Amino acid sequence: MEKYAWKATVKEGCLDEYIRRHDALWDEMKAVLTEAGIVNYSIWNSGNDLFGYYECEKGVDHAARVQRESAVVDRWNEYMADIMVMELDPETGAQPLMRQVFSFR
């Protein structure tokens, strides 16, 4: 199973709102993640830094394509724009894939 990791920043004073919005994640957004084959998705924070990680049952390319083509994801990104800074890859429309440099099993 392929893995995907990303990073972003929560704007100062917005972490509680960020958490609140994710606690109320839209059902249609959950459906897109499922369609994309995304599992074991978790987001971590330290200060204003965010680190996200998920596994792609159908591969990273499939997950990226489904998200890139989704109007729901576009709406979610607009919804979150006022509380976070998120760099997007111009080619994929997704957060740049972080390179894995260590793994221990």
Q: Is 45 exposed, middle or buried (0-12, 13-18, 19+ CB in 10 A)?
A: middle
**Is the separation of the CB atoms in 30 and 36 below 8 Å?**
no
22 catalytically annotated = yes
Indicate which residue of 20, 22, 30, 75 is catalytic.
22
- Which positions are annotated as active-site residues? 22
